[in-house]
Chain A
Amino acid sequence: MAAVAPARRRKRRSLPIGRILLLGFFLVFVLWPLYWMFNTSIKPSDDYLTVPPVWFPAEPTLVHYEAALFTYRGLDGLINSLIISLSATVLSALFGTLMAYSLARYNTGGRHLSFWVLSQRFLPPIGIVLPVFLIYRGVGLYDTHIGLIIAYTVFTLPVSVWMMFAYFRGMPKSMEEAALVDGCTRWEAFWRVAVPLAAPGIVAAAVFAFIACWTEFFFALILTSRTAFTLPTVFRAFIGFQGAQYGEAAALAIVSLVPSIALGVLAQRHLVRGLTLGAVRG
């Protein structure tokens, strides 16, 4: 007995050290690029190429933010991104909730319909975007806000549907049944009873749809050019730069990542469901 106790104590003490090292290493790995980007964004251009590098600028400046937003049209991209992402998010959450309710409560179309929607999530975007580009050019949706809103609605629908599908299935039916028995129509049972109860789930699904739209690059790259371009596509201007625009690129990145990170961290309780399309309850 006396021999066992110290051994066990030693084991317990040794475990956290490995844990702390691993976590510490990983935290540094996660934070370091973010810090360096922030550092670059407030660093005067003269400090770019010094050896050793400037770890923190002595005279922080906001000139890069100004240039990124106005000279490189970052502000226009920001506004476009807001309009497009918000619209697509609302549509996706709305249509997604409608469909998910029908799938969850009425088993509409059986497994085939729900799996068909899900499979859309895994289509490689390159396969969709080429023909969509041709169609959009034909019908005048190329480089329009509406065009990208529709595209983003469709591309976030599978996740919205499946997140809400899982949410409704996890919700007891009894309230809606009571409403139906009381003489409500099915629509009323859905809209007045089920939707208010599912509100937290709908908000979570909307948050993930918004983040997906906000960070999307590929569709925006191909379906827009000078009018409806979103924030991520503005970074094209900084490709292949030779030193002059590091600060602008970094400043624009900082501006663009704040909203999605804030939303994501706020909704982190639902993150597991969001990442696994509701397959796993967090």
Chain B
Amino acid sequence: MLRALGSQHLAEPLSSLLDTPMQPTATIHRLKAAGAPPRLSAFAQRADRHFKWLLVAPAVLLILALSIYPLLFSLVVSFINYDFQVPGHAFVGLKNFERVVFDPVARWSLLLTAWLSGISVAIEFVLGLLVALTMVRSFPGRGVIMSILIVPLFISPVIVGQAWTLLLQRPFGPTNYILTQLLGQEVTIGWMTERPWLYVSLIIADVWQWTPFMFVILLAGLTAIPPNLYEAAELDGVNAWQVFWAITLPHLGPMMLLALTFRLLDAIRMFDTIFIMTGGGPGTQTYTASYYLYTVGFTQFHLSQATAGSWLFLIFTALIVALLVRRLLKVDPV
């Protein structure tokens, strides 16, 4: 009985248990258990033996069915003809990939994705860090302000896009009126139609929604820095800027990298706000990678071309994940 219980996984914890001052109690428990072995059916015994795999099974099977299988399926699709406008499913080799790679719109959308996500994430990072720095020490009203600042995180990006549309779109939105009053001269910006303002609008919406993300993570990092370091620095008469460079920044480093990586991986998917605010337009001026692939697949119905493109995009992202995320989330043994 005991051997069955104390198989591999328990061997170590049990021995450590025995080393503790609790030894007498542990011994009693062992004796009790030995005296009254639970009666298990053959099925239950088998279930108990494979317990760890049974627990993992539902989640793993679901992910296999709805993530890995579709990915393999799409790999097949990207090498055949799967187009609602061209009949038949013949093997076409790399043709679908060629179509994407040589499509100027595809390259433009990838470039725009990089630019938009890069600029948005940079602004979010700086702004989030500044706000986090102001919120480290407690002050009256901090709890309420905290609750307000995190609100954008719980709103659908669609609604964020809608909210900024209401603010910016001419002639309804009040933004141009407010700017006119503030600047003292007539402002008539087409926030959703004119370059570069439509990019500004998209970035503002993204910054509004995701600065709290940076802020929350960086604040957690800041509060984890041991306060005695700051006390020591104060005793040494070091100025605030030096404290920031010598203490805050190095301690916050890993957290910064984590926040940046997570945010960047989400930012490059940018789709929802564009769908609502500009619809990719005017023309193809606000096509991001996701939006481009969506249009190719679901409005032009070149499904195999879209899957080929999404595989290229996937490999792109997988590289970032493999390089950065794995390093960040090292599973250190407890």
Contacts and interface: CB of A to CB of B under 8 A. Distances in A.
Given A95-B58, A157-B59, A214-B156, A120 B67 contact: yes
Contact of A181 (B14, B40, B303, B325): B14
Contacts of A36: 163, 166-167, 174
Interface string A148-174: 001101100100010000000100011
Contacts of A40: 166
Interface in A177-201: 177-178, 180-187, 190
A19 B162 contact: no
Interface size class, chain A: 35 or more
Nearest to B332: A169
Contacts of A260: 154-156
Contacts of A271: 150, 153, 216
B165 to A, nearest CB: 8
B147 interface: yes
Interface in B52-72: 52-53, 55-56, 58-60, 62-63, 65-67, 69-71
B39 to A, nearest CB: 10
Contacts of A111: 331
Interface in B290-334: 290, 293-294, 297-298, 303, 306-307, 310-311, 313-314, 317-318, 320-321, 325-326, 328-329, 331, 334
B79 interface: no
Interface residues of B, number: 112
Q: Is the interface of A mostly helix, strand, loop or mixed?
A: helix
B310 A126 contact: yes
Interface string B189-213: 0000000000000000000100111
B73 interface: yes
Contacts of B33: 181-183
Interface of B: 5, 9-10, 13-14, 17, 26, 29-30, 32-33, 36-38, 40, 44, 47-48, 51-53, 55-56, 58-60, 62-63, 65-67, 69-71, 73-74, 77, 82, 127, 130-131, 134-135, 139, 145-160, 162-167, 171-172, 174, 177, 208, 211-213, 216-217, 220-221, 255, 258, 262, 265, 268-269, 271-272, 275-276, 279, 289-290, 293-294, 297-298, 303, 306-307, 310-311, 313-314, 317-318, 320-321, 325-326, 328-329, 331, 334
17 contacts: A26-B131, A27-B145, A51-B177, A95-B59, A98-B58, A122-B265, A126-B313, A128-B70, A131-B73, A154-B65, A186-B51, A235-B276, A239-B276, A246-B172, A257-B155, A261-B154, A276-B217
